[in-house]
Chains A and B, each alone.
Chain A
Amino acid sequence: MPFSAKRLFFTFILGLTGLTNAYAGDRILATGGVTQIEGSAGGGLVPWGVLHGTTSDNGLGITAAASRAGIDDYTLDVKGVALNLYNRLEISFARQHLALDTLGGKLEQDIIGAKARLFGDVLYHPWGQWSLGVQHKRLDDFSLPRAVGARDDSGTDIYLAGSKLFFDAVAGRNLLLNTTLRSTQANQGGLLGFGGDLNDSRELVVEGSLGIFVTPRWLAGFEYRQKPDQLSFAEEEEWKDVFVAFVPNKHLSLTAAWIDLGSIAGLDDQQGGYLSLQVAY
């Protein structure tokens, strides 16, 4: 962990001691998910139908998160902040930094996201909660993605996500089911640009996750994310993870996962650990 990340972490932890009595949103614990790698409320890899934090129809909420994925030949760092307005609209900003540990160099992009709750509630509505989101992504430096066949240095993903909690579903535990349909042109989430020599139109991909609240504070599950494959230089595969999230209170969550990102830029079988810390007001 570089010094800056370590300092960030300890600042968070120090801040927490003063947070227990601070303003907390009026939604039930853990109903905002955590921060996924593009900054939206979700799991680790997949945006969910829920909105960040625990704010309800009576207020605003702010979340901040720092995440790291260390896989075989790459290291991804993500920092994100998000605002939730009355549990109706989520605005998020995330910065991704991918270190190409084996190939050398780095790829970076900014992601501005918005997600609107269309209808429902993850706990109370028979159909769960459905939201429509966008993630606008822009790469810092297009030279490497261009060299491997990408068409554009920016792109916008549009997704529809639904989340529903089933009470008392498995061994008396509550089960959280998420389904996401995304329209995208992004290669490896956008870090390898948008569009490609094999395909330059939008593709519809399916993503999903299933988690069990082992206790109200511990959620364990897995995620799946389908991806386009539109660059001839290297195959792109789906992403998967198995995660455990610990949510001790409304201000803090810690997520650990084992992720499998498949083949990335010709380097196969990219697996490794993922850690994410989120604070919320």
Chain B
Amino acid sequence: MTTMIWRRLTAPLLLAICTLTAHASDDETSSWTYNALGEKAGIAAIVEDLLVNIANDERIVVRFADADISRLQRMLNEQFCMLSGGPCVYTGDSMRESHRGKNYTQAEFNSLVENLIHAFEANDVPLAAQNRLLGKLAPMNADIVAQ
């Protein structure tokens, strides 16, 4: 009984590990994520919901008090479009430059991520596309927190 269960697990496990190692570079060329996000209109709706969520989030809204919201909105649209493989170029500053001196906490960054996830969910973004974009955004944490 025991050995049967573990034997049965081995194949899916190996498959998972192979998928994991083989995956990494296949979406640079494809625009699957961009399509799954709903292209330009879909991304615009997600960004708008994200900004509304931030405006309603007392934990971090104060951090956006002096921000140029329409520019922020434009930059987020460009960034999400480019990161998802869409036909856009991000024209803003690097993450490190644009967050320098702000000394954002990890908690504030996490709150932003939560607001983004809620925006994904409100727009019925497929989980795979959510995860793929989050995976692109996650490493930016180092350039944003405690700068």
Interface set of A (CB-CB < 8 Å, partner B): 26-28, 56-59, 87, 121, 123-126, 166-175, 210, 212, 215-216, 222, 240, 242, 258, 260, 269, 271
B60, closest chain A residue (CB): A26
* Distance (whole angstroms) from the CB of B102 to the closest CB of chain A: 15
A-B contact pairs, 25 of them (CB 8 A): A26-B106, A26-B110, A27-B110, A28-B113, A56-B106, A58-B105, A58-B106, A58-B107, A123-B138, A123-B141, A124-B138, A125-B142, A166-B135, A167-B135, A167-B138, A169-B23, A170-B19, A172-B126, A172-B131, A172-B132, A174-B131, A175-B20, A242-B5, A258-B5, A271-B2
Q: Given A26-B110, A121-B106, A166-B20, A173 and B9 touching (CB < 8 A)? A: no
B100 at the interface (CB under 8 A from A): no
Whether the pair B135, A212 counts as a contact (CB closer than 8 A) is no
Contacts of B96 in A (CB 8 A): none
A167, closest chain B residue (CB): B135
* Distance (whole angstroms) from the CB of A263 to the closest CB of chain B: 11
Whether the pair B107, A26 counts as a contact (CB closer than 8 A) is yes
Known: A26-B110, A166-B20. 20 other contacts (CB 8 A): A27-B107, A28-B117, A56-B105, A56-B106, A56-B107, A58-B107, A87-B106, A123-B138, A124-B141, A166-B135, A167-B138, A168-B131, A168-B132, A170-B20, A172-B129, A173-B127, A210-B13, A210-B16, A222-B9, A260-B6
Bound form: Cα–Cα A28–B139 in Å: 15
B19, closest chain A residue (CB): A170
Q: Is the interface of B mostly helix, strand, loop or mixed?
A: helix
A123, closest chain B residue (CB): B138
Contacts of B107 in A (CB 8 A): 26-27, 56-59
Q: Interface size (B, Cβ < 8 Å)?
A: 32
Q: Given A124-B138, A260-B5, A168 and B128 touching (CB < 8 A)? A: yes
